Amino acid sequence: MDECPRCQAPLERLSLADVETIACRDCGFADIPVDHESERDEPESWRDAINRFYDGN
């Protein structure tokens, strides 16, 4: 299993729509395949997106 590069906690595999990614629950790190430019690290935005995804289903 992959480990978080920040805190070495085991990363959780997440599926969001057609995209599968990995994220760390402990520190909010997320390895997100994005096609738009992402200059800042915004784990809160990613978490909001996940919450929105699950709320919508």
Which of 12, 21, 22, 26 is in the footprint of Zn ion by CB under 5 A?
26
Contact 49, 38 (CB under 8 A): no
Which of 16, 22, 27, 50 is in the footprint of Zn ion by CB under 5 A?
27
In the bound state with Zn ion, the residue whose beta carbon lies nearer, of 36 and 45, is 45
The answer to the question of residue 6 lying near Zn ion (CB under 5 A) is: yes
Hey, what amino acid is at 38? Answer: S
- Per residue in 29-45, is it b (16+ CB within 10 Å) or e — as a string? bbebeeeeeeeeeeeee
Contact footprint for Zn ion (CB under 5 A): 4, 6-7, 9, 24, 26-27, 29
